[in-house]
Structure 1
Amino acid sequence: MRARYSAYATGSIDFLRESNHSKTRRQFDPESAGRWSRESRWLGLTILGSDSSTPARAHVNFEARYEDRDGAPVLHRERSLFEREDGEWRFVSGGAIPAVSQKVGRNEPCPCGSGKKFKKCCSA
Structure 2
Amino acid sequence: MATPVNCPCGTNAPYEMCCGMYHHNPGTAPTAEALMRSRYSAFALNDFHYISSTQKLKNAPKQSDADIAESNRETQWIKLEVTETVDGLEKDKEGMVAFSAHFKEGKHIGRLSERSLFKKIKGSWFYISGEHEIEKNTPLVKSPTMNVGRNDPCVCGSGKKYKKCCG
Are residue 57 (structure 1) and residue 85 (structure 2) matched? no
Q: Secondary structure at the match of 2:56?
A: coil
2:127 — aligned with what? 91
Aligned CA RMSD, in angstroms, stands at 2.7
CA distance in 1, matches of 2:118, 2:60: 13
Contact preservation (8 Å) 2:58, 2:129: no
Give the one of 4, 7, 13 matched to 2:48. 13
- Residue 73 of structure 2 aligns to a residue whose secondary structure is helix
Deviation at 1:60, TM superposition (A): 0.5
**Distance in 1, Cα, partners of 2:47 & 2:131:** 22
Aligned with 1:81 (options 117, 132, 151):
117
| Distance (Å, rounded) in 2 between the aligned partners of 1:4 and 1:49 | 16
Match of 2:25 in 1: none
Instruction: Say if 2:97 and 2:115, in contact at 8 Å, map to a contact too.
Output: yes
Give distance in 1, aligned partners of 2:49 and 2:76: 19
TM-score where L is the length of structure 1 = 0.70
Query: What runs of 5+ residues in structure 1 fail to find an aligned partner?
Result: 100-109, 116-124
Larger radius of gyration: 1
Identity %: 24
Structure having greater relative contact order (Cα 8 Å, sep ≥ 6): 2
More strand by share: 1
Residue 23 of structure 1 deviates from its aligned partner by 5.8
Q: Which moved more, 1:51-60 or 1:88-97?
A: 51-60
Number of aligned residue pairs: 104
Q: Structure 2: which 5+ residue stretches go unaligned?
A: 1-35, 144-167
Deviations 1:47-105 (CA, angstroms, capped at 9, x unpaired): 1011128810011000000101x220010000000000121110000111587xxxxxx
* Residue number in structure 2 paired with 1:105: none
Alignment CA distance shift 1:11-1:32 (3 Å):
same
